[in-house]
Structure 1
């Protein structure tokens, strides 16, 4: 359907005006090679707008490039025009023929799948491949341990590449390496020569469930072919050939591994290491992975590619496809990247340089779209941060000791030198952590690089050379494998039946990543220690500035689109993610909502009924009187709201404190609230199962399903005296993002206070100091300090308001929905805070008031709705 600009975006439905605005802005952004920051509230069809806008550009660009290639045929200028035209026509028909042949192949595959004839093919592949052995990777005889021996190593001949974990190389380190001609590329590009490299869109989101939803949406869009027929062809009865979108989803080994001896391991690190181990030359034949592609099974790679393109498949279906065909979907999907047009992948696979290199992802002149981008900067910081615990250090030290008992006399030359250096570094880390465990006055703090590296002769270690050695020698992998081998030997030959200890955690791999962080002490990152209970203490490297690590993506790609339901406030992206980009190259769009203005009302609730300010600042929020007044206010609010109300607190600790105060003897708040609505709440320390579900359970999906199903049942099957339910939740908790509180499940969303991070934590102190100093660069004196403090404060507030905006966006989910929003804190009455709310909330913002005025307005709102 054509828009006001004359573009047909092939939207499967009648698009809203704001969807047309979004699609046009996205199309222009890609066409003009810009960076786009787009905000479109949940319920406005953001995913389809992204798909239609981006794919329309992709197809039109494909058509333009095809026509240009036909028009610029090489040839002699003196050749007759009819020869030139014949050559152009032949090239066009060759392209059409190749495309038709490919489509015919895909149609046959679809037909085969429709008739469910893949079972015979599955059985055929199963009969051809050897059965997986139950034997361990390590051989059961001690004479086979030579596979764990280190090969001779000469640092002068070692590769200058760093193919291992490059998790924390700073801007300074990488710039210096580039200047010296030392590449950090991990994997040489080895795509098959016959594959055509299509211009492609990389679509990135946070979770595989969101990527699966994207895959469902993309199937709704029908696109015209990129290679059209000429009018003469249609006159002769020919029709446009089908031009299937070549869609591919990527995942980690943890999501795609189909080897039952590997994918049964619980954590991603163990799966990655086991996968790499069974590919080593010393691995017994019966223990090798039969799914691993080989030269002999190249036809399976081609089959996998065609099957993957024949139908849009999410990550689970892609894994099943690999299992059915008898080929590893993790490696086979890499083979399929080059000819694909749309590639979807989770955050880490795109944002982490080493992951892109491992998958052979080439971003050059392609388009990157990052959805749910409201927490992009924090995601980059987390991906490039690394931590190590005292337990891991001590376990690694013990594993090296076991290894040296066997191979000490076989270590020669550089191997002996570097293994000794690893031991010294581990001892230095251990000494530092044990010292902080018993001597540090605070539970957390900044860890000084000189103190971490204060061990004996550690200052003489060239950390860069050591990192290269660890990558080249595979020391960590060999030690981990040998440790597993010894454990297996002990269990096998013990006369006493010992319980299986399972596979030991590959601690040295985590230590290796931390060693890389030690190579680049830099302004953009900082070391911290965090002390827990007992002997629990952790050393962590935290990236403070995501700019550099995202800069490479920006500079390589044609266009970058950041999209989300709550991107406001947007200033941070200009200042802290794209400070090097000319403002004219950045395009922003904040869409309104599809709902009519009368379907939403938002109130800043700034005072109690008696006129006392609600002040939930850290210093004042624990007041008994204020907590009591908060409870009274919530009772008044939910009494005027039909069905469901969701209340977001700033933290689990504060929610627990309020509940304890409302339940204590002498207070009637909790009983009166329970008499008004059925009460449910999140808690890290649950009491009654009917009231809450533990939020720290590792299976968050089960948690969310349990508490939401109980909350939903209470609303949809009300019993006297309840008329609905109230859910007490936490901003940043399990229920503040990605949960749908549409219609009766969220007629009101209440936010208590502003969830500012603890400014006194070591990490936030360091982050604020870094931002302040960076903003003050180039200025002097008091003016520089004032500028720095103002920028840091703005960043602090913006991070908080993005969390608030994400929470309040849970309620309105579609065009016919309606809800109220209540923001309880005097600070919500300030213009500075209100301007950081999304535009669609600001447009429906009512005058700030006290409890009586706001609850009266809420009652009037729902009376007008007939609720």
Structure 2
């Protein structure tokens, strides 16, 4: 055994490598040693996390670097925590780690953490500066270098345990303690936010030049960077600001100047343009057209400070005003950073002005190209050209290692059906189509014989709600993804009653980075993709496509990468929920006639190697037969 292999094995949390795990670890180590970026694609369940940590820690030990394990959502923190805990339990190798989540999630004061994010930050700042947070003052009374290793050695199994354990030591916020311990810890587990956001209130100083970045679920990174570095100004905030100015600003001249900007300018402009959004979700605006409303911005600033002063003098515990949204938005658009544009956007909360990052490479390029090492891994990693173009990778080369779905999952353990009797195509969807989809889901649920859950994935929340109203409990026991739905609550429900129809949104929190397991038991036996989850065309995506077309010199490929590839990734991610080990078995149903179109059919034929087109009766029979027929 070579010295390199022995070092990697020292940090591997299992006695032996499963199929492909050594190859993943070796590819990552070689890439890091050669100053290259590692691109790793492997289906969920192969064991990417354990291999990536082992290789990165081995390299980091030799290079005296830190490992930053970066995740998109807090649910995804479970995997690295689990592997680091197993490493300690198996080989007695203790690796100091910290977990960084946003301040509200890591606050010990339950009442405060429930506040809206901006208001929480204001309250937290006030309580710390005034000495009224009893937990925060205790930071000075403890030795963090003694406390933190004991927390980790105590067997923290998940993020909630980590936070609650720190709170039992009367140390608040755990966010501050973790941030202070980052210098000593060998591994930091945190969301993309802390590395790939600019000008955000919780950004911390991290030496990326002396860090290995292990970026999990990296197919999400371009979109995540765009979202993290965008700032919006909702119409509702403008209206709320008008009401506060009228009530709380006494100076009549200042009041009139401010309301002229807000009501006569911004509100009128946004309401007028909102009519354009009846057909599109996002339209491009000229920056100059928006900046004209901020020419007398001193009035907004003066009104802001007068309102805050008045609230404080009145004893308001949280002196927050929606005018702060205008201040933040104005500051952002004045910067005029390359790669950003202004849009008017519409979502379920209403209309907003959005200063949005359209070229994530302006943020990610400097970070990735300067970092001590970079690993991009996912079960559905986009093509190399897309990754390098969108992220601005220009450092000394790429090492790729990709494992296909069929390389990992045995053919007898899955089936793929295309049901072409429905569609969610925008121009064809209507109430009749929604009712038809609901009827199919009901029939499938009623004949499905296994004591397992059915995961149904919808292209949008709007389609999900439209279908759900035609389902009739208790004949169909469903769990619908909501804003406050947590995976912990979902697994708890499935523990009590396995057979549920889970209704989730493509790319949402019940699909990405989630494990539907109880111990070694797989809770899913059937995946239904309702519709093709194409992103809705809009001016923002058109801008992204133009950037790709210019860099790749191929407009057709740019369109596929902008519109088709995200849909394919979302479908593959959903399918991956059912296959967490080589022994898992599940049926996949692609429910939309568009799956028969040549460009999609070829993709999924290459990916799965097989599929069968069925009508409604055949679909029901296939669900029943696959469920009761044991594998070969």
TM-score by length of 1: 0.61
Equivalent position of 2:70 in the other structure: 204
Equivalent position of 1:442 in the other structure: 276
Following the alignment from structure 1 to structure 2, what is the Cα–Cα distance between the partners of residues 274 and 365?
35
The match for 1:639 among 434, 439, 447 is 447
Following the alignment from structure 1 to structure 2, what is the Cα–Cα distance between the partners of residues 820 and 383?
36
CA contact (8 A) 1:248 1:312 kept: no
Q: How far apart are residue 248 of structure 1 and its match?
A: 2.1
Equivalent position of 1:818 in the other structure: 585
Q: How far apart are residue 256 of structure 1 and its match?
A: 3.5
CA distance 1:287–1:630, shift in 2 (3 Å):
closer
CA contact (8 A) 1:805 1:837 kept: no
The match for 2:608 among 837, 842, 845 is 842
Following the alignment from structure 1 to structure 2, what is the Cα–Cα distance between the partners of residues 247 and 28?
24
The match for 1:542 among 337, 352, 356 is 356
- Number of positions where the alignment pairs a residue of Structure 1 with one of Structure 2: 619
Indicate the SS of the match to 1:814.
coil
The match for 2:398 among 585, 599, 608 is 585
Deviations 1:693-719 (A, max 9, x none): 5x44x4322xx566665566454xxxx
Following the alignment from structure 2 to structure 1, what is the Cα–Cα distance between the partners of residues 25 and 347?
49
Following the alignment from structure 2 to structure 1, what is the Cα–Cα distance between the partners of residues 374 and 605?
22
Following the alignment from structure 2 to structure 1, what is the Cα–Cα distance between the partners of residues 438 and 170?
60
Superposed counterparts of 1:223-262, under 5 Å = 244-258=94-108, 260=109
Q: Larger % of strand: which?
A: 2
Following the alignment from structure 1 to structure 2, what is the Cα–Cα distance between the partners of residues 394 and 624?
38
Q: How far apart are residue 680 of structure 1 and its match?
A: 3.0
The match for 1:602 among 415, 428, 434 is 415
The match for 2:476 among 666, 679, 697 is 679
Q: How far apart are residue 749 of structure 1 and its match?
A: 1.1
Following the alignment from structure 1 to structure 2, what is the Cα–Cα distance between the partners of residues 394 and 643?
51
Counterpart check, 1:269 vs 2:118: yes
Note the residue ranges of structure 2 that are not aligned, 5 or more in a row.
none
CA contact (8 A) 1:601 1:819 kept: yes
Counterpart check, 1:572 vs 2:386: yes
Following the alignment from structure 1 to structure 2, what is the Cα–Cα distance between the partners of residues 33 and 352?
24
Equivalent position of 1:755 in the other structure: 533
Following the alignment from structure 1 to structure 2, what is the Cα–Cα distance between the partners of residues 726 and 357?
38
Following the alignment from structure 1 to structure 2, what is the Cα–Cα distance between the partners of residues 590 and 477?
55
Q: How far apart are residue 342 of structure 1 and its match?
A: 1.1
Following the alignment from structure 1 to structure 2, what is the Cα–Cα distance between the partners of residues 17 and 3?
22
Counterpart check, 1:527 vs 2:346: no
Counterpart check, 1:765 vs 2:539: yes
CA contact (8 A) 1:293 1:332 kept: no
Q: How far apart are residue 56 of structure 1 and its match?
A: 2.8
Deviates more, 1:791-800 or 1:249-258: 249-258
Equivalent position of 1:737 in the other structure: 512
CA contact (8 A) 2:359 2:547 kept: no
Q: How far apart are residue 544 of structure 1 and its match?
A: 1.7
CA distance 1:595–1:801, shift in 2 (3 Å):
closer
Q: How far apart are residue 836 of structure 1 and its match?
A: 4.6
Equivalent position of 1:138 in the other structure: none
CA contact (8 A) 1:524 1:543 kept: yes
The match for 1:215 among 67, 72, 81 is 81
Q: Which has the larger radius of gyration?
A: 1
Q: How far apart are residue 771 of structure 1 and its match?
A: 2.8
Superposed counterparts of 1:316-355, under 5 Å = 316-317=161-162, 320-321=165-166, 324=169, 329-354=174-199
The match for 1:484 among 301, 307, 311 is 311
Counterpart check, 1:43 vs 2:45: yes
CA contact (8 A) 2:419 2:589 kept: no
Following the alignment from structure 2 to structure 1, what is the Cα–Cα distance between the partners of residues 184 and 605?
39
Indicate the SS of the match to 1:38.
strand
Counterpart check, 1:653 vs 2:445: no
Q: How far apart are residue 516 of structure 1 and its match?
A: 2.2
Counterpart check, 1:516 vs 2:331: yes
Equivalent position of 1:9 in the other structure: 9
CA distance 1:636–1:336, shift in 2 (3 Å):
closer
Q: How far apart are residue 512 of structure 1 and its match?
A: 2.5
Following the alignment from structure 2 to structure 1, what is the Cα–Cα distance between the partners of residues 464 and 83?
38
Deviations 1:642-700 (A, max 9, x none): 3443332333433444456xx5xxxxxx68xx8xx941345xxxxxxxxxx5x44x432
Counterpart check, 1:380 vs 2:225: yes
Deviations 1:246-285 (A, max 9, x none): 2222233323344x499456133233223434565xx5xx
Deviates more, 1:547-556 or 1:261-270: 261-270
Q: How far apart are residue 391 of structure 1 and its match?
A: 4.3
CA distance 1:828–1:792, shift in 2 (3 Å):
same
Deviations 1:329-380 (A, max 9, x none): 4334333222221111122222214469853211113101122333222211
Q: How far apart are residue 850 of structure 1 and its match?
A: 4.7
Equivalent position of 1:179 in the other structure: none
Following the alignment from structure 2 to structure 1, what is the Cα–Cα distance between the partners of residues 33 and 592?
44
Following the alignment from structure 1 to structure 2, what is the Cα–Cα distance between the partners of residues 387 and 596?
43
CA distance 1:403–1:301, shift in 2 (3 Å):
farther
Superposed counterparts of 1:608-619, under 5 Å = 608=421, 615-619=423-427
Equivalent position of 1:300 in the other structure: 143
Q: How far apart are residue 798 of structure 1 and its match?
A: 0.7
Following the alignment from structure 2 to structure 1, what is the Cα–Cα distance between the partners of residues 112 and 605?
43
CA distance 1:480–1:21, shift in 2 (3 Å):
farther
Note the residue ranges of structure 1 that are not aligned, 5 or more in a row.
63-197, 226-241, 409-418, 489-500, 609-613, 664-669, 683-692, 716-723
CA distance 1:480–1:765, shift in 2 (3 Å):
same
Deviates more, 1:37-46 or 1:319-328: 319-328
Equivalent position of 1:106 in the other structure: none
Indicate the SS of the match to 2:416.
strand
Deviations 1:553-576 (A, max 9, x none): 112212211222333556532332
The match for 1:774 among 519, 533, 547 is 547
Deviations 1:125-169 (A, max 9, x none): xxxxxxxxxxxxxxxxxxxxxxxxxxxxxxxxxxxxxxxxxxxxx
CA RMSD of aligned residues (A): 4.5
CA contact (8 A) 1:201 1:341 kept: yes
Q: How far apart are residue 824 of structure 1 and its match?
A: 2.5
The match for 1:802 among 553, 556, 569 is 569
Q: How far apart are residue 386 of structure 1 and its match?
A: 0.9
Deviates more, 1:12-21 or 1:544-553: 12-21
CA contact (8 A) 2:418 2:612 kept: no
Following the alignment from structure 1 to structure 2, what is the Cα–Cα distance between the partners of residues 657 and 356?
38
CA distance 1:264–1:616, shift in 2 (3 Å):
closer
The match for 1:699 among 479, 484, 492 is 484
Q: How far apart are residue 3 of structure 1 and its match?
A: 12
Following the alignment from structure 1 to structure 2, what is the Cα–Cα distance between the partners of residues 205 and 838?
30
CA distance 1:378–1:327, shift in 2 (3 Å):
closer
CA contact (8 A) 1:293 1:328 kept: no
Following the alignment from structure 1 to structure 2, what is the Cα–Cα distance between the partners of residues 512 and 565?
40
